[in-house]
Amino acid sequence: MGDLLTSLTLARADVDRAAERRSDPAWLDATWADPATRVLVLHRGKARVVGEEPRLLLAEPSQVEHDGVRVLLAVHEGTAYVALLVDGAVEPFDEDARWEGLREVGSLLSGFESSLMVAAVALANWHAGHPRCPRCGVPTEPSDGGWARRCPDDGSQHFPRSDPAVIVLVIDDEGRALLGRRAEWSEGWYSTLAGFVEAGESAEMAVRREMLEEAGVRVDRLDYLGSQPWPFPASLMLGYHARLAPDSPIARPDGEEITALRWFTREEMAAGCQDGSVRIPPPVSIARRLIERWYGAELPGSWSRP
Ligand SMILES: [Zn+2]
């Protein structure tokens, strides 16, 4: 097995999430009233950032009056970092700031700030999509510092979920990589193949099934290379290199999700990216890192699709 990928863009920094404080309402209330607390306002998936090298614009609690779900994100060097997840209209409090999404700024923020934003986006998606109790249907209330929801009728508690998905670069015995184009993509955009782990399935089973379904190929040896959250809306991407089995059928796109497949040598991919006929995924994605691991080097930002 290869060394795991390190410093994946959306999983660069371990942050102290101070989970022990989530069940301490008095501490949470005091923290929300403390002017030293820093608030990340997340509005429909976007945060305010400032600067050419983007930084999150964090507010004092008194500067944010909006209604929204409050989340304890972290305690770092004595400072509490919280998120306010807002769906309604928001007033700008700094005209130099701009609203940016995680896909746009995730790779540009510091590891710490990126981790804060990933958690805020993941929780915002979950809260928005799970307003009611799955047992009895009544509206639930956020609890535990924003990391759960509780049903007022039956007392049941519900927690955020992550949906595991496998993402795979298939490599043949000549060292070529199999990349595919999704139906909704522009001409020339290529990436690794991916799919969700289904109920009752292991990650390895999902890799073998998805490669057969999407590309018609059989793979044998799998190298697990790492994972990163992908909260669009709730995925956890498990990254693999997979070896094309000697008896595999020829690669053939399924024609629905994947409309083109191509085996690339390193030279072919580089030539295509340089003349603009091929585009690969952006650095924020684990797909990019799986491709770079195969290629053997970090690749230029200009080779990314938009
Ligand atoms: Zn209920």
Q: State which of 84, 104, 129 marks the end of a domain.
A: 129
182 C-alpha to ligand 1 centroid (Å): 40
97 C-alpha to ligand 1 centroid (Å): 41
Considering the domain architecture, whether residues 102 and 197 belong to the same structural domain is answered as: no
Considering the domain architecture, whether residues 86 and 196 belong to the same structural domain is answered as: no
139 C-alpha to ligand 1 centroid (Å): 8
Considering the domain architecture, whether residues 93 and 194 belong to the same structural domain is answered as: no
Considering the domain architecture, whether residues 211 and 266 belong to the same structural domain is answered as: yes
232 C-alpha to ligand 1 centroid (Å): 27
Position 66 scores a pLDDT of 81
Considering the domain architecture, whether residues 37 and 93 belong to the same structural domain is answered as: yes
Query: Per the domain annotation, does 121 fall within a domain?
Result: yes
Query: Per the domain annotation, does 136 fall within a domain?
Result: no
22 C-alpha to ligand 1 centroid (Å): 21
Considering the domain architecture, whether residues 192 and 250 belong to the same structural domain is answered as: yes
34 C-alpha to ligand 1 centroid (Å): 34
pLDDT per residue as tens digits for the range 223-239: 999 999 999 999 999 99
Considering the domain architecture, whether residues 174 and 62 belong to the same structural domain is answered as: no
Considering the domain architecture, whether residues 42 and 106 belong to the same structural domain is answered as: yes
153 C-alpha to ligand 1 centroid (Å): 5
- What CATH number is given to the structural domain containing 67? 3.90.79
140 C-alpha to ligand 1 centroid (Å): 7
Query: Per the domain annotation, does 142 fall within a domain?
Result: no
133 C-alpha to ligand 1 centroid (Å): 5
156 C-alpha to ligand 1 centroid (Å): 6
Q: Which domain holds residue 54?
A: 9-129
CA atoms of 100 and 56, how far apart (whole Å): 10
pLDDT per residue as tens digits for the range 22-54: 999 999 999 999 999 999 999 999 999 999 999
134 C-alpha to ligand 1 centroid (Å): 7
Considering the domain architecture, whether residues 24 and 121 belong to the same structural domain is answered as: yes
pLDDT, the chain, mean: 95
- What CATH number is given to the structural domain containing 211? 3.90.79.10
Considering the domain architecture, whether residues 98 and 180 belong to the same structural domain is answered as: no
148 C-alpha to ligand 1 centroid (Å): 14
85 C-alpha to ligand 1 centroid (Å): 23
Considering the domain architecture, whether residues 213 and 101 belong to the same structural domain is answered as: no
| Helices 266-275, 286-295: inter-axial angle, 10-degree rounding | 120
pLDDT per residue as tens digits for the range 161-180: 999 999 999 999 999 999 99
Query: Per the domain annotation, does 147 fall within a domain?
Result: no
The predicted model gives 284-297 an average pLDDT of 96
147 C-alpha to ligand 1 centroid (Å): 17
Q: State which of 113, 129, 145 marks the end of a domain.
A: 129
Position 95 scores a pLDDT of 78
Position 89 scores a pLDDT of 82
Query: Per the domain annotation, does 215 fall within a domain?
Result: yes
30 C-alpha to ligand 1 centroid (Å): 29
Considering the domain architecture, whether residues 107 and 238 belong to the same structural domain is answered as: no
126 C-alpha to ligand 1 centroid (Å): 17
161 C-alpha to ligand 1 centroid (Å): 18
159 C-alpha to ligand 1 centroid (Å): 14
Query: Per the domain annotation, does 278 fall within a domain?
Result: yes
Domains: count for the chain:
2
Position 2 scores a pLDDT of 65
Position 13 scores a pLDDT of 87
123 C-alpha to ligand 1 centroid (Å): 20
Examine the pLDDT at 155 and tell me if it is beyond 80.
yes
pLDDT per residue as tens digits for the range 204-226: 999 999 999 999 999 999 999 99
Q: State which of 129, 155, 178 marks the end of a domain.
A: 129
Position 282 scores a pLDDT of 93
Examine the pLDDT at 91 and tell me if it is beyond 80.
no
Concatenating the DSSP letter of every residue in the chain gives -PPPP-S-GGG-------GGGTT-HHHHHHHHH-TT-EEEEEETTEEEEETTTTEE--B-GGG-----EEEEEEEETTEEEEEEEE-S----S-TT-EEEEHHHHTTTS-HHHHHHHHHHHHHHHHHHH--B-TTT-PBPEEEGGGTEEE-TTT--EE----EEEEEEEEE-TTS-EEEEEETTSPTTB-B-EEEEPPTT--HHHHHHHHHHHHH---EEEEEEEEEEEETTTTEEEEEEEEEEPTTPPPP---SSSEEEEEEE-HHHHHHHHHHTS-BB--TTSHHHHHHHHHHTS---GGGB--
145 C-alpha to ligand 1 centroid (Å): 20
Position 96 scores a pLDDT of 87
Position 143 scores a pLDDT of 97
Query: Per the domain annotation, does 200 fall within a domain?
Result: yes
Query: Per the domain annotation, does 153 fall within a domain?
Result: no
pLDDT per residue as tens digits for the range 105-123: 999 999 999 999 999 999 9
